[in-house]
């Protein structure tokens, strides 16, 4: 979830620690920073009274200073806090109940303790090593870690690993082929991760004081914004999110996966492909090391390595402007594309297309868990992203956790996704995941093409157009198609704000953010016979939504009602309403604007065109794009 969305979902007390951190930093580092001074002046220097959007903009300006502040604080923290951060920054854990985090912490600590004892026993049993094998390399790293850790004791200070020492140790681990989980286990031998009952709560309070996490007391829920996860990953030296690492691993052959495991002294005999991928992920092996050396046989030449990376980009359906001339160039381009993938992927498939894909996969997917039991898509998602059993799994929740349609498809093995492709009767040529995504994008395009039929609830016309739909689903499909059209007009559909203002009784259809604080409330209405005439009911709904938006610090610039056509009385009532500004747009009109927008080479569309009020002239808007 983006920082702006997190701030919008919390009260003033729950976000106060983060705001206080920014306030103190601004006071200490403003001198000489013109951008920061300009941003503070725009807010009248009232940080504590600023809106979520203003705070988010301030964060992006002060981020380099905040990052240094966090680095200094983490350097003084112990192994328990590091373990907690490792859990919070993993995919799927950005929103989690405190009780669930306690379970994950306990599980992670036990795994670390087990690996640490294995390493201790391995080094004790084998004594001296001179063959530079796995045991020898581990001993070198452990001895170096011990020196770094105990150096402080010589000058009568508490034993700690400083940031400078950790940087050196990380480089040492990289060259000795010591995986991240082994590094953590070695550290555990010298500074054990705490196991006390209140450890997680202490860690969370420390992180909250640093502004890194937010705690919703009412739901006993911890939230960490995407921007803060990215910042922590940089500090931890984590190049790629686990979900993106999984995509890369899915593209490797069994032999290539074995090469990676061999490089780090991991077992490969009698290990299945699924287990190989899981071991590499759990070990935390650096993606740059994998792509530069670990993937390949020792005698593989530079040109073959570069060609393999080019093939990998093709396998991942990357549309890059340049391939890069050197091996490092290609690695950097590949990583950069994956780091920025989430934003593009949410746009590539609409919210309604994502939901339809998820529902179809849930119905048609039959997977197998690591213990050999049958597994549904929901169970696979829970296991892979460490989601709590009591949590409802739906596309809204997945979007809040920044899990894209592509991420879901890459949870399926190559064989599993091919079976889904065959069930959906798609072509066997090309990337099966891309084919599945295209199928649902095409299905959504068909709804948009027949938008007017949806608006009029013309069931016969829809079936004739090849759209098999239940009459009870027409309203929701019309709403989803309207939302998709507005997204394709490059408008900012704010799902998190919509979700936060909705109640069990009243649910807004669409919220469009048009500036930092201004929004348009959209309402999509289908009607079977004649002109839409239910003004009193509709106006009561949208006024309730407007009030809830304003309670969250957002100004409702306009209400946009979309329907097949409007009665004369409806139009007059909307024009005379003094409580809210209402614009009316017919379904045909919205489709006309969309058609004009998609055919223009450089369309010029502004959401302010929807704020004119009254019945909008779609022909004129389309003509002037």
Please report, for the chain, the start and end positions of each structural domain, with discontinuous segments joined by +. Answer: 1-238, 239-339, 356-449, 464-623
Residue spans of alpha helices (H) in 251-394:
254-263, 273-283, 287-289, 302-315, 327-339, 341-348, 351-364, 377-385
Percentage of the chain exceeding pLDDT 70: 99
Cα distance between residue 535 and residue 541, in whole Å: 10
- DSSP code, position 349: S
3-state secondary structure of 53: helix
CA 110 to chain CA mean position, Å: 28
* Alpha-carbon gap, residue 346 to 441, rounded angstroms: 12
Q: Taking 70 as the threshold, does the pLDDT of residue 126 lie above it?
A: no
Distance between CA atoms of residues 551 and 503, nearest Å: 14
User: Which two structure tokens, joined as six digits, stand for 274?
Assistant: 């699924």
Tell me how far CA of residue 555 lies from CA of 32, 54, 383, 514, in angstroms.
34, 14, 40, 10
Residue 236 has pLDDT above 60, yes or no: yes
Residue where the block lists tokens 């995504």: 437
Query: What pLDDT was estimated at residue 604?
Result: 77
> Any idea what the Cα angle at residue 37 is, between residues 31 and 39, rounded to 5°?
150
The token duo for 602 is 């450089």
Among 80-84, 365-369, 497-501, the range scoring the smallest mean pLDDT is 497-501
- Model confidence at 261, pLDDT cuts 50, 70, 90, reads very high
Percent of the chain with pLDDT over 90: 52
pLDDT of residue 6: 87
Residue 222: pLDDT band (50, 70, 90) is very high
Q: Provide mean pLDDT across the span 327-343.
A: 91
| Cα-based distances in Å from 373 to 68, 94, 273, 379, 569 | 47, 28, 17, 11, 61
pLDDT for 574: 93
pLDDT score recorded for residue 127 = 56
Q: How confident is the model at residue 333 (pLDDT cuts 50, 70, 90)?
A: very high
Segment 425-446 shows an average pLDDT of: 86
Residue 59 has a pLDDT of 92
Contact 55, 7 (CB under 8 A): yes
Which residues, including other chains, have CB under 8 Å from residue 585's CB and lie 6 or more apart? Answer: 560, 561, 562, 610, 615, 616, 618
For the cut 60, the answer to whether the pLDDT of residue 129 exceeds it is: no
| pLDDT at 151 (0 to 100) | 86
- pLDDT at 351 exceeding the cut of 90: no
Q: Convert 494-553 into a string of H (helix), E (strand) and C (coil).
A: CHHHHHHHCCCCCCCCEEEECCCCEEEEEEECCCCCCCECCHHHHHHHHHHHHHHHHHCC
The tens digit of pLDDT for each residue in 465-501 reads 888 888 888 998 899 889 889 988 888 888 878 887 8
- Quick: pLDDT tens for 21-71: 999 998 888 887 888 888 888 887 888 888 777 888 899 999 999 999 999
Q: Does position 602 have pLDDT exceeding 90, yes or no?
A: no
Q: Scan for tokens 């503070």, then name that residue.
A: 40
Is residue 430's pLDDT more than 90? no
Give the number of other Cβ atoms within 10 Å of residue 160's Cβ: 17
CATH for the 464-623 domain, from 3.40.91.50, 2.40.50.100, 3.30.200.20, 3.40.50.150: 3.40.91.50
Q: What pLDDT score was predicted for residue 302?
A: 93
Asked whether the predicted pLDDT for residue 405 surpasses 60, the reply is yes
pLDDT at 330: 95
Residue 582: both structure tokens together? 């209402």
Strongest mean pLDDT among 30-44, 114-128, 179-193: 179-193
pTM score, whole prediction: 0.78
Task: Name 72's Cβ contacts closer than 8 Å, sequence gap at least 6.
Answer: none
More confident residue, 496 or 195: 195
Distance CA 226, CA 4 (A): 10
Where is pLDDT greater, at 321 or 112? 112
What is the Rg, in whole angstroms, of the alpha carbon atoms belonging to the chain? 27
Give the pLDDT of residue 89.
Answer: 92
Reading the block at residue 198, the tokens are 């209140």
Residue 504 has pLDDT above 80, yes or no: no
In sequence order, the 6+-apart residues with CB closer than 8 A to the CB of 478 are 451, 454, 455, 524, 526, 587
Burial 255-287 (b: 16+ CB within 10 A, else e): ebbbbbbebbebebeebebeebbbbbeebbbbb
**What is the pLDDT at residue 511?**
92
């Amino acid at each position: 979830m983006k920082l702006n969305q997190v701030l919008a979902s919390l009260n003033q007390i729950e976000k106060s620690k983060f705001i206080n951190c920014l306030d103190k930093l601004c006071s200490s580092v403003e001198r000489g920073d013109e951008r920061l001074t300009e941003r503070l002046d725009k807010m009248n220097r009232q940080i504590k009274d600023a809106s979520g959007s203003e705070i988010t903009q301030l964060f992006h300006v002060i981020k380099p200073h905040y990052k240094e502040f966090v680095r200094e604080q983490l350097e003084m923290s112990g192994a328990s806090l590091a373990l907690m951060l490792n859990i919070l920054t993993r995919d799927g854990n950005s929103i989690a109940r405190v009780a669930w985090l306690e379970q994950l912490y306990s599980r992670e600590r036990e795994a670390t303790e087990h690996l640490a004892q294995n390493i201790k026993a391995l080094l004790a049993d084998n004594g001296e090593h001179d063959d530079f094998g796995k045991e020898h390399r581990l001993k070198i790293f452990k001895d170096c870690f011990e020196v770094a850790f105990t150096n402080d004791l010589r000058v009568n200070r508490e034993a700690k690993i400083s940031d400078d020492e950790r940087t050196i140790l990380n480089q040492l681990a990289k060259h000795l082929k010591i995986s991240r989980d082994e590094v953590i286990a070695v550290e555990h031998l010298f500074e054990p991760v705490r196991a006390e009952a209140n450890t997680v709560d202490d860690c969370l309070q420390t992180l909250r004081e640093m502004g890194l996490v937010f705690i919703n007391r009412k739901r006993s829920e911890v939230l960490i914004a995407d921007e803060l996860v990215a910042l922590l990953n940089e500090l931890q030296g984590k190049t790629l999110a686990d979900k993106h690492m999984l995509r890369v691993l899915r593209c490797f052959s069994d032999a290539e996966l074995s090469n990676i495991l061999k490089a780090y002294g991991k077992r490969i005999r009698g290990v299945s492909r699924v287990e190989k991928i899981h071991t590499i992920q759990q070990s935390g092996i650096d993606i740059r090391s994998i792509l530069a050396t670990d993937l390949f046989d020792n005698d593989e030449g530079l040109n073959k390595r570069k060609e393999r990376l080019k093939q990998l980009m093709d396998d991942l359906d990357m549309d890059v402007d340049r391939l890069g001339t050197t091996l490092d160039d290609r690695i950097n381009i590949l990583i950069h594309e994956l780091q920025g993938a989430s934003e593009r992927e949410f746009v590539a498939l609409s919210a309604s297309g994502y939901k339809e894909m998820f529902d179809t996969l849930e119905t048609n997917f039959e997977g197998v868990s690591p213990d050999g039991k049958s597994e549904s898509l929901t169970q696979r998602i829970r296991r892979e992203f460490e989601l709590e059993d009591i949590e409802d799994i739906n596309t809204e929740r997945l979007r809040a956790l920044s899990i894209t349609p592509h991420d879901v498809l890459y949870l399926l093995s190559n064989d599993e996704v091919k079976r889904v492709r065959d069930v959906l009767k798609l072509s066997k040529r090309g990337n099966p995941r891309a084919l599945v995504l295209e199928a649902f994008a095409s299905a959504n395009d068909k709804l948009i093409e027949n938008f007017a039929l949806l608006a009029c609830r013309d069931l016969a016309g829809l079936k004739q157009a090849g759209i098999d739909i239940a009459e009870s689903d027409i309203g929701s499909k019309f709403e989803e198609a309207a939302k998709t059209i507005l997204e394709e007009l490059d408008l900012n559909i704010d799902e998190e704000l919509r979700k936060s203002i909705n109640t069990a009784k009243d649910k807004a259809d669409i919220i469009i953010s048009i500036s930092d604080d201004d929004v348009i409330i959209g309402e999509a209405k289908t009607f079977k016979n004649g002109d839409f005439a239910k003004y009193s009911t509709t106006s009561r709904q949208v006024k309730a939504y407007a009030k809830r938006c304003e309670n969250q610090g957002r100004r409702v610039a306009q209400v946009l009602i979309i329907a097949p056509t409007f009665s004369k009385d409806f139009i007059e009532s909307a024009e005379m309403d003094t409580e809210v500004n209402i614009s009316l747009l017919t379904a045909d009109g919205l489709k006309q604007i969309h058609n004009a927008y998609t055919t223009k080479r450089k369309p010029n569309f502004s959401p302010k065109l929807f704020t004119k009020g009254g019945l909008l002239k779609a022909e004129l808007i389309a003509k002037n794009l």
